[in-house]
Amino acid sequence: FTGIIEGLGTIKSLTPMAGGLRMAIKADFPIEKIGLGDSVAVSGTCLTSVGFKNQIIEVDVAPETLSRTTLGHAKVGARVNLEQALRFGDRLGGHLVSGHIDGIGVIKAKQPAANAIIFGFEVPEGLSRYIVEKGSVAIDGISLTVNACDRKSFEVSIIPHTAKVTTLGHRNVGDRVNIETDMIGKYVERFTRPFEKTETKENGQSSVNASFLAETGFM
């Protein structure tokens, strides 16, 4: 996905299924035919289509997804952001978004600033470590640029167009949102983690530092 929302949809039904549920969503906009097994991002969450007819998309939501995303509190009539999967050769207007939600954030501030709206989000420290100033973040599937951040929060600016065509325009302080951080930082951390476990000094401290990373080609 790219984080460029194609349009909104409305949850029409929620059917419990063995710990998970089947969700039916009606798209507000003309949408290309989605086949069985195709991926679609629902408020940033990558789900698999199990049916599509008359603008209604059916997707199955697993227990893990319900526990890790805002879809666990979804209600009939709720509005969601929709994006079909990226095709090779399409323009990448936002940034690379996997649809694999890292966690949930809470809106802590919402205030106008000239022609924009400044949103402030509170996130767990486990997520904030991957959020950097002027870096990319996906909020409910929307590709946005981080204005500022600290250990527990970050801010973004929403232009009028984004507020109009996505669910963020209807969000208020206290609302919960899906957060997906930029995947690059997570992979870099994972690739260097084996060194932390195997390469240690005699005093038990990690030998991984800026010099070591430079010598081994990571910097």
- Which of the following is catalytic: 1, 52, 119, 121? 1
- Which of the following is catalytic: 10, 78, 98, 100? 100
- Which of the following is catalytic: 145, 200, 206, 211? 145
With helix as H, strand as E and coil as C, how does 36-95 read? CCCEEEECCEEEEEEEEECCEEEEEECHHHHHHCHHHHCCCCCEEEEEECCCCCCCCCCC
Is 145 marked active-site? yes
Is 198 marked active-site? no
Is 1 marked active-site? yes
In sequence order, the 6+-apart residues with CB closer than 8 A to the CB of 189 are: 130
- Which of the following is catalytic: 10, 39, 157, 192? 39
- Which of the following is catalytic: 48, 153, 157, 192? 48
- Which of the following is catalytic: 24, 27, 41, 46? 46
The amino acid occupying position 10 is: T
CA-CA distance, 131 to 122, in Å (whole number)? 12
Is 100 marked active-site? yes
| Tokens of residue 192, six digits | 């260097």
- Which of the following is catalytic: 10, 62, 192, 195? 62
DSSP H stretches of helix in the chain: 63-68, 125-128, 160-165, 183-198, 210-215
CA-CA distance, 22 to 61, in Å (whole number)? 6
Is 48 marked active-site? yes
Do 182 and 156 touch, CB atoms closer than 8 A?
no
Is 46 marked active-site? yes
Residues tagged active-site:
1, 39, 46, 48, 62, 100, 145
